[in-house]
Amino acid sequence: MLNKVPEVTIYFWIIKILCTTVGESLADYLNTTIGLGLSTTTVIFSLALAAALIVQFRLRRYVPAAYWTVVVLISVVGTLLTDNLTDNLNVPLSLTTGVFTVVLAAVFGIWYSRERTLSIHSIITRPREAFYWLTVLVTFALGTAAGDWTLDLTGWTPGASVLLPAGLIAVTALVWRVGAGATLCFWVAYILTRPLGANLGDFLGSDPADGGLGLGTAWTSLLFLATILAIVTYLSVTRRDQTPVAEPAPETVLARRTDQDDALVD
């Protein structure tokens, strides 16, 4: 298979943050505003995610629409996973954060021991793709738990709460610029975009009396989904985030043709 994930460009991070905001806002809208409840909402989105993953795994290359559909759905499911543990089972956020940290470390450990790489530039086999999506799910759940726990500890308003993950992402980017490992920095930033997007969603959707802009969860979800659709459509047309397929060297092409000619003669 060709690489099944996009190149890490500015478009990647923009869509990722938008997806995390949608995950927070859409889950809250269906669970609270519509009144479906956590259990029903979780079942609906888990089934939708399973269907999207089946489509994604059947593909032989990166397709923006399929890939980002999975990310949107997995952001919702990751959020609901933490919410179910916290609200339905009364698991403390501190414990949830610790458990998901251990789970993520275990997934990384098994992934690396089997494949000898954690790079997203080499998602070219089914096992690597499976490890990749499992990691993404755990990072969403961990980001949700850590972000909510931080808000409980600090009591910050939605606007102020955006600054902490944004600042940590900036530090991660700076550390990467001065020579830190690209793979490690990528996954750290990937985790941090979850609380950043969630806090941004809270800021946009919350009532002004609570420090938000008052857009509501429905309008926030629709606005960000429309933006995601526009960017994904642009990327589908331009292919600006797809891994280039290397052209074979001239001597390799010549060798192939010689082998084919010899086979015909035989």
Residue 245 pLDDT? 62
Separation between Cα atoms, residue 179 and residue 201, nearest integer Å: 32
Average pLDDT over residues 225-253: 78
Query: Where is average pLDDT lowest: 88-102, 177-191, 212-226?
Result: 212-226
Residue spans per domain, the chain: 10-265
Q: What residue has token string 């609570």? A: 210
Closest by CA to 187, choosing from 1, 3, 4, 16, is 16
Q: Say how many residues make up the chain.
A: 266
Q: How far apart are CA 100 and CA 140, in angstroms?
A: 10
3-state secondary structure of 50: helix
The answer to whether 217 touches 29, Cβ cutoff 8 Å, is yes
Output DSSP code: residue 241: T
Q: What is the pLDDT of residue 136?
A: 95
Interval 113-149: pLDDT, tens: 999 988 888 899 999 999 999 999 999 998 888 888 8
pLDDT at residue 266 is higher than 50 = no
Residue whose token pair is 């952001």? 75
pLDDT tens-digit series, residues 15-53: 999 988 887 788 878 888 788 888 898 999 999 999 999
% of the chain beyond a pLDDT of 70: 91
pLDDT in tens, 53-88: 999 999 999 999 999 999 999 998 998 899 899 988
pLDDT band at 262 (very low <50, low <70, confident <90, very high): very low
pLDDT of 265 above 80: no
Whole-angstrom distance, CA of residue 133 vs CA of residue 168: 24
| Residue 39 CB contacts under 8 Å (≥ 6 apart), including other chains | 84, 88
pLDDT in tens, 146-192: 888 888 888 888 778 888 899 999 999 999 999 989 999 999 999 89
The pLDDT of residue 120:
87
* Each residue's pLDDT tens digit, 2-20: 889 999 999 999 999 998 8
Would you give the DSSP letter of residue 120? G
The chain-wide mean pLDDT, for the chain, equals: 86
User: Distances from the Cα of 227 to the Cαs of 14, 19, 81, 203, 252, in angstroms?
Assistant: 10, 10, 25, 18, 44
